[in-house]
Amino acid sequence: MIRETKKGLRMNIVILDSKTLGEDLDLTPLREFGELSNFQTTSEEEIEGRIIDADIIITNKVVITKELMEKAKKLKLICIAATGTNNVDLETAQALKIVVKNVTGYSTKSVVQHTFTMTLNLMGRIAYYDERVKNGTWSKGELFTDLSQPFNEIAGKTWGVIGLGAIGKEVAHIAEAFGATVNYYSTSGQNKINDYHHANLDDLLKNSDIISIHAPLNEQTQNLINGSNLPYLKDKAILLNLGRGGIVNEEEVAKELNKREIYVALDVCEIEPILESNPLLKLEHPERLLMSPHIAWASIEARQRLLVGIIENIKTFLTQKII
């Protein structure tokens, strides 16, 4: 039974994996709604004991199964600290009248910014020139400048966007502001009425100088970029994946990077954290690859917006319960 006090409904709230939200995020506003149990991480064996008396649970990646929900008799609300809902059995939740809420749109600006951070690093050869300055090579040179590694502008290039959702559209808009021509490929096949030219995947890969992926992982996108179409990429083309790891075949990308001069930037991997045996970590030309550890979504501002979204979801739920 939901407990009500002079302060309103008081809930037993459990956060299962707060470490995924960052230790710099202030979670104390959640205490407004009741007793808060905050666990940085939760193993599969620990889930049941931690949610058994919970009214509300907050999870980012911890999987909530049918069996767990059936045992958590007090559970009324599952707040997913993310946009994706694949870690919760939604059918069972509906049958048990457990409300499930996610948060959308909080990371758009962060992912878009990271897309251009990675692009500009690769196009401008920033790591290379930073090292030239710091190791003394520039100091020993005779010129005021160092032009040993040619770099390029985005202006005049063709930018291909795979997945023209909210993030893809914002990337397209900014790419145009840089002076690029934008084409896109709809992974669902349904999104073909836009301000940009729609191309089939093969043509997009063949004609683009820069390709960025902003699509979800599903049947249409699993292994979308693979050994059969990677050869379509132009020499010196840049491929960025800021969607999901399984969209790009990492073994085939490693082979292509060793074979010829293309450039790849990945914020996501199929298995995270990346395995030490992943061929991407053993490239003959590591300078052709730029990687970050799934952080595109996670600017402090994005994580603050995520927390606000979780709080609003709880408020909405409690308001409906009072009514």
Per-residue pLDDT at 5: 40
Answer yes or no: is pLDDT of 323 > 70. Answer: no
Check whether residue 20 and residue 120 sit in a common domain.
no
Check whether residue 249 and residue 317 sit in a common domain.
no
Residues labelled as active-site residues: 244, 272, 294
Gap between the Cα atoms of 101 and 83, Å rounded: 9
Per-residue pLDDT at 10: 84
Check whether residue 118 and residue 205 sit in a common domain.
yes
Arithmetic mean of pLDDT, 12-27: 97
- Domains held by the chain: number: 2
Check whether residue 264 and residue 138 sit in a common domain.
yes
Please state whether the peptide bond connecting residue 216 to the residue before it is cis, i.e. omega within 30 degrees of 0: no
Answer yes or no: is pLDDT of 165 > 50. Answer: yes
Per-residue pLDDT at 2: 44
Write out the residue range of the structural domain in which residue 271 sits.
108-291
Q: What is the pLDDT of residues 220-238, one digit of tens each?
A: 999 999 999 999 999 999 9
Check whether residue 196 and residue 59 sit in a common domain.
no
- Beta pairing class for 77-80 and 56-59: parallel
Per-residue pLDDT at 173: 98
Check whether residue 266 and residue 205 sit in a common domain.
yes
Answer yes or no: is pLDDT of 3 > 80. Answer: no
Of 232 and 3, the one with more pLDDT: 232
Answer yes or no: is pLDDT of 1 > 50. Answer: no
Q: Which CATH number do you get for residue 214? A: 3.40.50.720
Q: What is the pLDDT of residues 105-153, one digit of tens each?
A: 999 999 999 999 999 999 999 999 999 999 999 999 999 999 999 999 9
Q: What is the pLDDT of residues 243-299, one digit of tens each?
A: 999 999 999 999 999 999 999 999 999 999 999 999 999 999 999 999 999 999 999
Q: How far is CA 289 from CA 158, 240, 256, 267, in A?
A: 20, 10, 11, 11
Q: How far is CA 8 from CA 192, 266, 311, in A?
A: 48, 46, 15
Check whether residue 313 and residue 166 sit in a common domain.
no
Answer yes or no: is pLDDT of 4 > 70. Answer: no
pLDDT band at residue 213 using 50, 70 and 90 as cut-offs: very high
Partners of 8 in the beta sheet?
A: 5
Gap between the Cα atoms of 136 and 141, Å rounded: 9
